[in-house]
Copies of this chain bind each other. A is one copy, B any other.
Amino acid sequence: MIHGGDLLSYKEFYDGDLVDFSSNINPLGYPQGLEAHLVKSFSSLLAYPDIKYRRLKENLSDYLGCQEESLVLGNGSVELIDGFISLFERVLVFTPSFYEYEARTKVHGKALMSLSYNKDFEVDLEDLSLVKKRDLLILGNPNNPTGLRIKEERLRAIYEVVVEKEAFLLLDEAFYEFTEGYDSIKLFKGEEYRNLAILRASTKFFGLPGLRLGYGVTSSAMARRLEGLLLPWNINSLAEAAGDYIFKDGTYIEKSRAYVKKERDFLSSGIEGLESFKVFSSESNFLLVRLLACDEDKAFNHFLSQGLIIRKCSSFRGLDKSYIRVAVKDRENNKRLLNAFRSLDDYLRKSPASL
């Protein structure tokens, strides 16, 4: 299992509706008015999307605070990750991180250099001495599955190395809106995104993984170069139409931020009190948990028996079978998850022989 969200494969093992803690989607779902807006936009299906996506770029430019010329659009941000990988000679990733960085590198037959994050799951600046000209360094910010965000000064330092070496930095910021603090799009505006791209998407924060709308900000020269590679009409008309709505719903955006922060703290502090687990601090809508007294399979089966699907993490290079990842959901489901953590903890403490 290399991706979360595959509930279909498990439905036979539980008599009832499964709750998906394995993929990390805004628990409030998509903005409430979106459906009515899409209904009004159905007729857009009758025509090809605007091949230049002028309106969508206008909407994104307002939302992100960048020039339209800096924007690139993808069928999910994975299409943009793929496009950037195809343009460079070697790809550097730090592990653990999103599976597709490595997968798409292999598809393109590019060289891969895989380094480990340090023990705090941060980039060690010393490791960047390995960066060479024409390398593509991909960093999740916040990173999946750790949930950690690069600190502002460290990000500056990483960027300086990348520029000095004439390499390229790809920041995958799919979870950006769940964070607090700096905005990298503002941070690097002065540099005109030279040797840099910042990817975001409607997938996680706007609760729209099915929509397939990814976007990125980079130098206008790089944007034109990438657009020369991407497929025409790569964004569905309804995704194009959704852009007229979701980025303007300020109330939803603020409410989602606050809600996820509160529920993340609720879950996190609940797990923290249990002996059998170590929970990592996260700036995203998910938590990485280290299992101190069982492996991921035992944990997975326990949660499955409660109708909960969690994410096993040994498929992430750099993590072993002692890690799981859980999404932050609504209070009712988070309580169910916490109860399952508690009952697993109880069981593990009573039957140490089961290890």
Contact = CB atoms under 8 A, between A and B. Distances in A.
Given A229-B107, A232-B3, A236-B238, A45 B82 contact: no
Contacts of A240: 210
A25 B42 CA distance: 15
Interface centre among A6, A7, A48, A54, by most chain B C-beta atoms within 10 angstroms, is A48
A249 B100 CA distance: 37
Interface in A227-279: 228-229, 231-234, 236-240
Contacts of A236: 210-212, 236, 238-239
B51 A210 contact: no
Interface stretch (A72-80, A146-154, A286-294): A72-80
B42 A20 contact: no
A29 interface: yes
A175 interface: no
A127 interface: no
B45 A208 contact: yes
B107 A228 contact: yes
Nearest to A99: B232
Nearest to A79: B231
A44 B210 contact: yes
Contact of A237 (B52, B211, B228): B211
Contact of A231 (B5, B6, B29, B82): B82
A23 B35 CA distance: 28
A146 to B, nearest CB: 21
A30 interface: yes
A38 interface: yes
A66 B75 CA distance: 28
A130 interface: no
Interface string A69-98: 000000110110010000000000000000
Nearest to A202: B45
Contacts of A51: 3, 5-6
A25 B47 CA distance: 8
Nearest to A203: B48
A353 interface: no
A46 B79 contact: no
A42 B35 contact: yes
Contacts of A3: 48, 51, 232
A100 to B, nearest CB: 7
Contacts of A75: 75, 212, 231, 234
Interface centre among A30, A45, A49, A51, by most chain B C-beta atoms within 10 angstroms, is A45
A23 B47 contact: yes
A25 B46 contact: yes
A50 B3 CA distance: 11
Interface of A: 3, 5-8, 20, 23, 25, 29-30, 35, 38-39, 42, 44-52, 54, 75-76, 78-79, 82, 100, 107, 207-212, 228-229, 231-234, 236-240
21 contacts: A3-B51, A5-B47, A5-B48, A5-B51, A6-B50, A7-B47, A8-B54, A29-B46, A38-B38, A39-B39, A45-B210, A45-B211, A46-B208, A47-B210, A75-B75, A75-B212, A78-B233, A107-B229, A212-B234, A236-B238, A236-B239
